[in-house]
Chains A and B, each alone.
Chain A
Amino acid sequence: GNSVTQMEGPVTLSEEAFLTINCTYTATGYPSLFWYVQYPGEGLQLLLKATKADDKGSNKGFEATYRKETTSFHLEKGSVQVSDSAVYFCAFNNAGNNRKLIWGLGTSLAVNP
């Protein structure tokens, strides 16, 4: 069935370190892929998205590329900041009519100064 597998956390990095959070998905059809972020005490917000194969989503220095051949959508950032500390969720919407989101379990990131 449809599912998302993302790297387990927590991930702890020093400021300016390189970040990768792996995400792979199992889906039928051609879903759109998303990364959502939840900062401490705040609601979920969209970080970036990609709607077709080989698309690259980017925002706030984060990037992820839709890789259909490996069914992956790994999140990367070249130099993390303390303010990036949050929980990151990989998700996709199903290719059916309702576009409900299927979620990974989330990866907690802590960036130390």
Chain B
Amino acid sequence: GAGVSQSPSNKVTEKGKDVELRCDPISGHTALYWYRQSLGQGLEFLIYFQGNSAPDKSGLPSDRFSAERTGGSVSTLTIQRTQQEDSAVYLCASSHGQGDEQFFGPGTRLTVL
């Protein structure tokens, strides 16, 4: 079966522009996570969805970041007024339930010029 997919794979944008990153989790996985992998800072948690609700948004770095999930499936991470420090690889993961193995997508590499 298909794994977690993310689009676009690469995104180059100018400072101040808005970007949307998409994640398609594995079908039937109720839990969805967004992480960010920055050079020299490792992986950091951004937000967690259980179904369509986001009980933990504690990792979002600022109010320029938001995310939603519809139909218990696809999720979109939106970054408004991008800054150079937003440049990173954004990773999405899904799992069948809490505590189960998380399966990762290939990531979206975001470059803010």
Contact = CB atoms under 8 A, between A and B. Distances in A.
Contacts of B106: 42-43
A23 B10 CA distance: 32
Interface magnitude class on chain A: 20 to 34
A44 B104 contact: yes
B101 A49 contact: yes
Q: Which of A93, A98, A103 has the most CB of B within 10 A?
A: A98
Given A45-B104, A98-B56, A104-B42, 4 more contacts: A43-B105, A98-B48, A98-B50, A103-B44
A36 B103 CA distance: 10
Contact of A101 (B33, B41, B55): B33
A68 interface: no
The residue in B44, B55, B102 that gathers the most chain A C-beta atoms within 10 A of its C-beta is B102
B90 interface: no
Interface size for chain B: under 10, 10 to 19, 20 to 34, or 35 or more residues?
20 to 34
Contacts of B102: 46, 101
Interface in B26-60: 31, 33, 35, 41-45, 48, 50, 55-56, 59
B45 A46 contact: no
Contact of A103 (B43, B56, B95, B99): B43
B99 A100 contact: no
Nearest to B46: A100
Contacts of A101: 33, 35, 43, 45, 93, 102
Contacts of B98: 97-99
